[in-house]
Amino acid sequence: MTSTFEAIGYHGTDKQYVTSILTSINFAYNKGDKFLGQGMYLWRDSYDRAYKWANKTKNFNNLSVIAFKIKCCKQNTLNFTSKSWNNEGELLELWKNNFSNLTFGEFLDEMIYNNNMSINLIIIIDLTDKLKIFYIEDNENRTNFALGDIQICLKNNDPIIMYGEI
Amino acid sequence: MTPNELINKFYTDKTYKNSLISKLATKQSKFSPSELSNHRKDMNSLYYDLLLDKISDEIYPYKKDVRLEEII
Protein backbone atom coordinates (compact mmCIF):
# COMPACT_ATOMS: atom_id res chain seq x y z
CA MET A 1 0.00 0.00 0.00
CA THR A 2 1.33 3.45 -0.95
CA SER A 3 2.31 5.48 2.07
CA THR A 4 3.80 8.52 0.36
CA PHE A 5 2.97 10.82 -2.51
CA GLU A 6 5.85 11.76 -4.79
CA ALA A 7 5.79 13.96 -7.86
CA ILE A 8 7.51 16.52 -10.01
CA GLY A 9 5.56 19.77 -10.26
CA TYR A 10 6.11 22.91 -12.27
CA HIS A 11 5.34 26.53 -11.45
CA GLY A 12 5.17 29.17 -14.16
CA THR A 13 6.13 32.70 -13.24
CA ASP A 14 7.89 35.83 -14.41
CA LYS A 15 11.68 35.84 -14.33
CA GLN A 16 11.70 38.83 -11.96
CA TYR A 17 10.13 36.67 -9.23
CA VAL A 18 12.38 33.64 -9.55
CA THR A 19 15.10 34.75 -7.11
CA SER A 20 12.49 35.65 -4.50
CA ILE A 21 10.75 32.28 -4.86
CA LEU A 22 14.03 30.37 -4.73
CA THR A 23 15.01 32.30 -1.59
CA SER A 24 11.76 31.96 0.30
CA ILE A 25 8.35 30.79 -0.90
CA ASN A 26 5.36 32.87 0.15
CA PHE A 27 2.77 30.27 1.09
CA ALA A 28 0.19 32.95 1.83
CA TYR A 29 0.03 33.62 -1.89
CA ASN A 30 -3.25 32.70 -3.58
CA LYS A 31 -5.08 33.23 -0.32
CA GLY A 32 -8.74 32.73 -1.04
CA ASP A 33 -8.32 30.40 -3.97
CA LYS A 34 -11.70 28.75 -4.36
CA PHE A 35 -10.63 25.14 -4.68
CA LEU A 36 -7.53 24.54 -2.57
CA GLY A 37 -6.86 27.81 -0.75
CA GLN A 38 -3.53 29.51 -0.26
CA GLY A 39 -0.16 28.04 -1.14
CA MET A 40 2.35 27.46 -3.91
CA TYR A 41 0.59 25.95 -6.93
CA LEU A 42 2.23 23.51 -9.28
CA TRP A 43 1.20 21.62 -12.40
CA ARG A 44 2.06 17.96 -12.06
CA ASP A 45 4.46 16.53 -14.67
CA SER A 46 3.88 19.34 -17.13
CA TYR A 47 6.42 22.08 -17.79
CA ASP A 48 4.33 22.98 -20.82
CA ARG A 49 1.16 23.51 -18.81
CA ALA A 50 2.95 25.70 -16.24
CA TYR A 51 4.50 27.79 -19.00
CA LYS A 52 1.24 28.22 -20.91
CA TRP A 53 -0.72 29.02 -17.77
CA ALA A 54 1.72 31.76 -16.79
CA ASN A 55 1.62 33.13 -20.31
CA LYS A 56 -2.14 33.06 -20.76
CA THR A 57 -3.38 33.80 -17.25
CA LYS A 58 -0.81 36.13 -15.83
CA ASN A 59 0.40 37.76 -19.02
CA PHE A 60 3.98 37.82 -17.79
CA ASN A 61 6.54 39.33 -20.14
CA ASN A 62 9.55 37.20 -19.37
CA LEU A 63 8.42 33.68 -18.52
CA SER A 64 10.26 31.21 -16.40
CA VAL A 65 9.38 27.82 -14.96
CA ILE A 66 10.51 26.41 -11.64
CA ALA A 67 10.52 22.64 -11.14
CA PHE A 68 9.82 21.06 -7.76
CA LYS A 69 10.57 17.57 -6.59
CA ILE A 70 8.11 16.80 -3.80
CA LYS A 71 7.40 13.97 -1.43
CA CYS A 72 4.88 13.81 1.38
CA CYS A 73 3.55 11.08 3.61
CA LYS A 74 0.00 10.00 3.06
CA GLN A 75 -1.36 11.23 6.37
CA ASN A 76 -0.25 14.80 5.58
CA THR A 77 -1.59 14.78 2.02
CA LEU A 78 -5.07 15.32 0.65
CA ASN A 79 -5.36 13.67 -2.74
CA PHE A 80 -8.61 14.63 -4.43
CA THR A 81 -7.86 12.48 -7.44
CA SER A 82 -9.01 9.73 -5.09
CA LYS A 83 -11.92 9.82 -2.69
CA SER A 84 -10.28 7.41 -0.25
CA TRP A 85 -6.64 8.38 0.05
CA ASN A 86 -6.98 10.33 3.29
CA ASN A 87 -10.72 10.70 3.92
CA GLU A 88 -11.14 13.17 1.05
CA GLY A 89 -14.73 12.09 0.41
CA GLU A 90 -15.70 12.55 4.06
CA LEU A 91 -14.00 15.93 4.21
CA LEU A 92 -15.88 17.05 1.15
CA GLU A 93 -19.15 15.88 2.71
CA LEU A 94 -18.31 17.77 5.90
CA TRP A 95 -17.79 20.98 3.92
CA LYS A 96 -20.87 20.45 1.77
CA ASN A 97 -23.22 19.75 4.67
CA ASN A 98 -21.96 22.28 7.19
CA PHE A 99 -19.67 24.94 5.77
CA SER A 100 -20.62 25.71 2.21
CA ASN A 101 -21.03 29.34 3.24
CA LEU A 102 -17.31 29.27 2.42
CA THR A 103 -15.63 28.01 -0.72
CA PHE A 104 -13.92 24.66 -0.36
CA GLY A 105 -10.53 26.37 -0.47
CA GLU A 106 -11.51 28.79 2.29
CA PHE A 107 -12.78 25.86 4.36
CA LEU A 108 -9.54 23.90 3.85
CA ASP A 109 -7.45 26.89 4.95
CA GLU A 110 -9.60 27.32 8.05
CA MET A 111 -9.06 23.65 8.91
CA ILE A 112 -5.32 23.74 8.22
CA TYR A 113 -4.32 27.12 9.66
CA ASN A 114 -6.90 27.65 12.41
CA ASN A 115 -8.02 24.15 13.41
CA ASN A 116 -4.83 22.09 13.42
CA MET A 117 -5.53 19.83 10.47
CA SER A 118 -2.00 18.75 9.58
CA ILE A 119 -1.90 18.84 5.79
CA ASN A 120 1.20 19.88 3.84
CA LEU A 121 0.09 19.10 0.32
CA ILE A 122 -3.16 18.89 -1.65
CA ILE A 123 -3.67 17.37 -5.07
CA ILE A 124 -6.69 17.83 -7.32
CA ILE A 125 -7.74 17.55 -10.93
CA ASP A 126 -8.11 21.04 -12.38
CA LEU A 127 -11.83 21.66 -12.11
CA THR A 128 -11.75 24.96 -13.98
CA ASP A 129 -11.16 23.22 -17.26
CA LYS A 130 -13.09 20.48 -19.01
CA LEU A 131 -11.67 16.98 -19.14
CA LYS A 132 -10.04 16.11 -22.40
CA ILE A 133 -11.65 12.87 -23.50
CA PHE A 134 -10.37 10.89 -26.41
CA TYR A 135 -11.66 7.73 -27.86
CA ILE A 136 -9.77 4.57 -28.64
CA GLU A 137 -11.55 2.11 -30.86
CA ASP A 138 -10.65 -1.53 -30.65
CA ASN A 139 -13.05 -3.63 -32.72
CA GLU A 140 -16.06 -4.19 -30.54
CA ASN A 141 -14.71 -2.41 -27.52
CA ARG A 142 -14.78 1.26 -27.06
CA THR A 143 -12.56 2.83 -24.49
CA ASN A 144 -12.58 6.46 -23.51
CA PHE A 145 -9.54 7.97 -21.89
CA ALA A 146 -9.90 11.14 -19.95
CA LEU A 147 -7.07 13.54 -19.38
CA GLY A 148 -7.19 16.21 -16.72
CA ASP A 149 -4.51 18.53 -15.50
CA ILE A 150 -3.38 17.73 -11.99
CA GLN A 151 -2.83 20.69 -9.69
CA ILE A 152 -0.73 20.48 -6.58
CA CYS A 153 -0.97 22.99 -3.77
CA LEU A 154 1.96 23.13 -1.37
CA LYS A 155 0.92 24.47 2.01
CA ASN A 156 4.47 24.69 3.39
CA ASN A 157 8.10 23.73 2.73
CA ASP A 158 7.91 20.25 4.22
CA PRO A 159 7.18 18.28 1.02
CA ILE A 160 9.90 20.00 -1.01
CA ILE A 161 12.96 17.84 -1.64
CA MET A 162 14.53 20.19 -4.15
CA TYR A 163 13.51 22.93 -6.56
CA GLY A 164 15.09 25.17 -9.12
CA GLU A 165 14.60 27.20 -12.25
CA ILE A 166 14.61 25.27 -15.50
CA MET B 1 -4.77 16.32 13.67
CA THR B 2 -5.26 14.11 10.61
CA PRO B 3 -8.38 14.57 8.47
CA ASN B 4 -9.69 11.28 9.86
CA GLU B 5 -9.24 12.47 13.46
CA LEU B 6 -10.85 15.80 12.69
CA ILE B 7 -13.86 14.18 11.00
CA ASN B 8 -14.31 11.65 13.80
CA LYS B 9 -14.07 14.38 16.40
CA PHE B 10 -16.64 16.49 14.55
CA TYR B 11 -19.16 13.65 14.56
CA THR B 12 -18.50 12.30 18.06
CA ASP B 13 -17.67 15.38 20.14
CA LYS B 14 -20.70 17.66 20.34
CA THR B 15 -18.78 20.47 22.00
CA TYR B 16 -16.15 20.46 19.28
CA LYS B 17 -18.79 20.28 16.56
CA ASN B 18 -20.79 23.16 17.98
CA SER B 19 -17.65 25.22 18.49
CA LEU B 20 -16.50 24.67 14.92
CA ILE B 21 -19.91 25.44 13.51
CA SER B 22 -20.24 28.61 15.53
CA LYS B 23 -16.77 29.70 14.36
CA LEU B 24 -17.13 28.89 10.69
CA ALA B 25 -20.78 28.82 9.77
CA THR B 26 -21.04 32.57 10.26
CA LYS B 27 -17.81 33.45 8.44
CA GLN B 28 -18.14 35.55 5.35
CA SER B 29 -16.65 34.21 2.16
CA LYS B 30 -14.66 36.71 0.12
CA PHE B 31 -16.64 35.56 -2.90
CA SER B 32 -20.05 36.90 -3.88
CA PRO B 33 -23.22 34.82 -3.35
CA SER B 34 -23.44 34.05 -7.06
CA GLU B 35 -19.76 33.01 -7.23
CA LEU B 36 -20.33 30.79 -4.19
CA SER B 37 -23.42 29.27 -5.74
CA ASN B 38 -21.55 28.48 -8.95
CA HIS B 39 -18.64 27.10 -6.95
CA ARG B 40 -20.96 24.75 -5.07
CA LYS B 41 -22.40 23.55 -8.35
CA ASP B 42 -18.88 23.04 -9.72
CA MET B 43 -17.89 21.05 -6.65
CA ASN B 44 -21.09 19.03 -6.69
CA SER B 45 -21.45 18.15 -10.31
CA LEU B 46 -17.89 18.08 -11.62
CA TYR B 47 -16.13 16.76 -8.62
CA TYR B 48 -18.57 14.05 -7.58
CA ASP B 49 -18.82 12.99 -11.18
CA LEU B 50 -15.04 12.68 -11.33
CA LEU B 51 -14.85 10.75 -8.12
CA LEU B 52 -17.63 8.41 -9.09
CA ASP B 53 -16.18 7.94 -12.58
CA LYS B 54 -19.26 9.22 -14.29
CA ILE B 55 -17.60 10.81 -17.27
CA SER B 56 -20.18 11.92 -19.76
CA ASP B 57 -19.46 12.25 -23.44
CA GLU B 58 -21.26 15.54 -23.26
CA ILE B 59 -18.52 17.06 -21.14
CA TYR B 60 -16.11 17.16 -24.05
CA PRO B 61 -17.07 16.00 -27.53
CA TYR B 62 -14.49 13.53 -28.73
CA LYS B 63 -12.95 13.52 -32.18
CA LYS B 64 -11.95 10.35 -33.97
CA ASP B 65 -8.34 10.12 -34.97
CA VAL B 66 -7.42 12.88 -32.59
CA ARG B 67 -3.72 12.96 -31.91
CA LEU B 68 -2.40 12.94 -28.40
CA GLU B 69 -0.42 16.09 -29.07
CA GLU B 70 -3.62 17.94 -29.78
CA ILE B 71 -4.98 17.03 -26.38
CA ILE B 72 -1.88 17.80 -24.39
The kind and range of the H/E element at A66 are: strand A63-73
List, for residues A22-51, the tens digit of each pLDDT value: 999 999 887 768 889 999 999 998 898 899
Is the ipTM higher than 0.85? The answer is: no
| Residue/partner pairs of B51-56 with CB below 8 Å, 24 or more apart | B51/A83, B51/A89, B55/A131, B55/A133, B55/A144, B55/A146
Q: Closest approach of chain B CAs to the CA of A14, in angstroms?
A: 23
Instruction: Determine the Cα–Cα distance for residues A89 and A82; give it in Å rounded to an integer.
Output: 8
Q: Does A90 touch chain B (CB under 8 A)?
A: yes
Task: Say which amino acid occupies A42.
Answer: L
Task: Answer whether A101 touches B (CB < 8 Å).
Answer: yes
Strand, coil or helix: what is A158?
coil
Instruction: With beta carbons under 8 A apart, name residues in chain B contacting A91.
Output: 3, 7
- Contact across the interface for A83 and B31, Cβ inside 8 Å: no
Amino acid at site B38: N
What pLDDT shows up at residue A25? Answer: 92
- Kindly identify which residue of chain B lies nearest to residue A102, measuring between CA atoms: B29
Q: Are the beta carbons of A131 and B71 separated by less than 8 Å?
A: no
The DSSP symbol for B59 reads: T
Residue B3: the pLDDT is: 94
CB burial string B18-32: b at 16+ within 10 A, e below: eebeeebeeeebebe
In angstroms, the separation between the Cα of residue B65 and the nearest Cα of chain A is 8
The distance of A24 to chain B (nearest Cα, Å) reads 26
pLDDT of residue B48: 60
**pLDDT tens, N- to C-terminus, chain A (166 residues):** 568 999 999 999 999 999 999 999 999 887 768 889 999 999 998 898 899 888 887 778 899 999 999 999 999 999 887 666 888 888 888 998 899 999 999 999 999 999 999 999 999 877 666 666 666 666 556 666 666 788 999 999 999 999 999 9
Are the C-beta atoms of residues A91 and A85 closer than 8 Å to each other?
Answer: no
**pTM summary value:** 0.81
- Give the residue ranges of DSSP H helices in chain A: 18-23, 47-53, 88-98, 104-109
For B41-71, what is each residue's pLDDT tens digit? 878 765 565 454 434 444 444 443 334 344 4
Q: Can you tell me the distance from the alpha carbon of B60 to that of B45, in angstroms, rounded to the nearest whole number?
A: 15
Nearest chain B CA: its distance from A44 CA (Å)? 13
- CB distance from A132 to chain B under 8 Å? yes
Chain A residues with CB-CB distance to B36 below 8 A: 100-101, 103
Q: What are phi and psi of A140, to 5 degrees?
A: -85, -20
Select from A115, A133, A148 the Cβ nearest to the Cβ of B20.
A115
Inter-chain residue contact B43 with A75, CB threshold 8 Å? no
Write out pLDDT tens, residues A121-137.
Answer: 999 877 666 666 666 66
CB contact under 8 A, A100 and B21: no
Residues A89/B14, Cβ–Cβ less than 8 Å: no
- How far is Cα of residue B21 from the mean position of the Cα atoms in its chain? 19
Contact call for A130 and B31, based on CB within 8 A:
no
pLDDT of residue A113: 93
